[in-house]
Structures are given as C-alpha cells and as structure tokens.
Amino acid sequence: MTAQEIRQVVAATLADLLRVPASAPTKGAGASCVSPSPAHAPSAPLPPNAIPLEVSARHVHLSAEDLRTLFGDDATLTRERALSQPGEYLSDKRVRVIGAKGAIDGVAVLGPTRRVTQVELAASDCRKLGVRAPVNLSGDLSGAAELQLQGDAGSVQCRAIIARNHIHATPADAARLGLSDGQRVDVRAQSARPLIFADVPVRVRPDFALALHLDTDEANACALQAGDYATVQSPAGTRTAPPPPAATVITEKLIDEARAKQLAASGKHLTFARGTVLTPSARDVFLRGQVHITEDRLPINN
C-alpha cells in the first residue's frame, strides 16, 4: 500500500467517526471515537435526566460556490452516512486545511451546503495549523481565523472557529428536562473523569435530536467512553434570562438575519406575534446576543 493510499484510509476512518456517540478511546486531536464504558454500556438505557454525549471531530461546511471551486463545476455532496442531527450527513468530499504553520489532510465535508463556508476545529487543531480561532457557536464567524482549503480542483480562503459546546433538544425533551431555548446551563459529564462544562447554550427545535456536542479536546479531557452522558446541574448552576417585561408585539411576517441584528440591538426582550417566521440565522443572532424571545407571551421553541 502506498503512502497516499494509507493517508486516504486513515482519513476515511477518522471521517467515519465524525459526530457520532463515542465508541473507542480518543487518540489525538481529530479522533472522535471512545471505547465502551463498563458503567454505561452503549446498550444500557440512560437515566431519564440524561443527555447523550456526542463528539464532533474537525469538519468543514461548504457554500455551493466554494464546493464548485474546490471540486469542479459539476460537483455535488454525495451522502455517505447520516449524522445524528436530522438532515445532516457525512459527504464523500475531503479537503486539505492549510494554516500559517501547518496543514491537516482529509478533513471531512458535511452536507448539505450552507450559505457561508466555515471550518470547525478543536483548539489542538488550531495549534497545529498555527492559527488563533475564537470559541463561537456554529454559524458565528465573528473574529474567525483565516485559513485556506484545498480540494481536487482548486483552493479557497475561508474562516475557522472552535465550535462551542451546546445542547440540541426537541421541545418535548426540553420540557422533560426543564430546559428552554436560549438558556445557558452548567452540565456535568458523567464519565471516568467527570467534568462540569459551564454556560452551555441550549438550542431547541422540533427537528433536533437530543445530544450535548463536545469537540475532541473536551471529550479527551473528560475521558469520554461509550454510553457516558451529561446531566444538568441544580438550579443554582443554571442561568436563564429574566422574564420579559411587557413589550410591543412585533407583527412582521418574516425576520431574517439582517432584521434580527437590528432588533437585537434595540433590546434584550422581544415579543413576536404568533405566526411570525424566524429564519435559522435570525434565531442564531438572538441566541448569540442572549435576547429573550416570546411569541404571544409564550416562548418560541426554535
């Protein structure tokens, strides 16, 4: 087997472990697999207050334009395997990520395409690449590091972040666990080396699947094993926005990202008429800005 073939096999193996429940001991900065834990075997039922832990290895989201630049005008993202969050998948494409002091080969591209290209790394990846990236929620590229991506047909400049840990939940899961969209909570990783992750954002939407996403550095720090899970700490360790005061109801039909930024600058408590549509990017603006949102006096679940 040639050196190139070995690199391809290693890259494909790491990519196949991307963003799945942990299943083998983590080894190094991009591995996302941890071995079964005797205390919490993967087949054992989780406690009712448990939030499954999942590991998100380094990966790339591409815009349609950058996909064509990197892989050719006719390039598409072919699904190799579905990921845990509905609608997301591991694609057949891999790129080389190039920084000021180094490069990482075989980084997986996730689908579907997004409006803006972004790279999500662990802090240890950033040190290897020689870049300083902020810890942001996915989609927030403020202060992001500059990198280059190289594909089979070309290269593009892009920006990179260290993805902030966060909880995905459906409205039913959130109600059961006493969580709400936009809330920030302290959670304890119930693992061989328990750790408390503070100020973890909660994101609630009907098309989510319950999970706490950690990057590979965080997974290694808590010695994550398959079947390990997290629990929300006591109310004393839970932070929520205060109840919104009486406010003028916003009756616009659609709130996009640009409009959300205008509204977020006007106050931290916003009330929308029932039926108002908030785009995903608008919801992210409110989440990052810790803006408390209500709809007809009832919280919006996004």
**33 CB-near residues (< 8 Å, 6+ apart):** 17, 20, 22, 23, 24, 25, 26, 55
pLDDT for 272: 80
Closest CA to 109 of 19, 211, 216, 215: 19
- Give residue-wise pLDDT tens across range 58-88: 999 999 999 999 999 999 999 999 999 999 9
Cα distances (angstroms) measured from residue 154 to each of 63, 75, 302? 14, 12, 37
How is residue 183 written in tokens?
Answer: 């809330």
Q: Which pLDDT value is given to residue 247?
A: 54
148 CA to centre of own chain: 21
**Strands (E) located in 142-183:** 145-150, 155-163, 166-169
> Which amino acid is it at 291?
V
Amino acid at the residue 16:
D
Residue type, 90: L
What was the pLDDT predicted at 234? 56
Residue 292 has a pLDDT of: 74
* Contact criterion met (CB below 8 Å) for 58 and 98: no
User: Taking the chain (302 residues) in consecutive chunks of 10 residues, what is each chunk's mean pLDDT?
Assistant: 50 44 40 32 74 95 97 97 94 97 97 96 97 93 95 97 96 94 94 94 94 96 93 60 56 89 81 82 81 58 40
Q: In this structure, are residues 72 and 153 in contact, taking their beta carbons and an 8 Å threshold?
A: yes
Euclidean distance between CA atoms 20 and 37, whole angstroms: 16
Q: pLDDT tens digit string along 84-138?
A: 999 999 999 999 999 999 999 999 999 999 999 999 999 999 999 999 999 999 9
DSSP assignment string, 251-285: --SEE-HHHHHHHHHH-SEEEE-TT-EE-HHHHHH
Quote the pLDDT of residue 30.
Answer: 38
